[in-house]
Amino acid sequence: MSSTTDKIKGAANEVAGNVKQGVGNVTGNDKLQAEGKAQELEGKTQRTVGEAKEGVKNAADAVKSKL
């Protein structure tokens, strides 16, 4: 997956997780709250991976341009 794809999918998972948590809070559904939190954390991790990939690519491009 590209860094952009990872960042987009990560952001989408964060939003979906937050929505699930909100619905779980309103309805008193602890399972839905937990699923939402897990999905939010998965999204944050995925977004971080995308950012790391982008950083590595930028560093490699900088080294290439100096050669």
Is 90 exceeded by the pLDDT of residue 54?
yes
**Is-contact 41 18, C-beta < 8 A?**
no
DSSP states along 38-57: HHHHHHHHHHHHHHHHHHHH
Is 90 exceeded by the pLDDT of residue 67?
no
Q: How far is CA 53 from the centre of its chain?
A: 13
Per-residue pLDDT tens for 7-51? 999 999 999 999 999 999 999 999 999 999 999 999 999 999 999
**Is-contact 40 24, C-beta < 8 A?**
no
pLDDT of residue 10: 96
Is 90 exceeded by the pLDDT of residue 1?
no
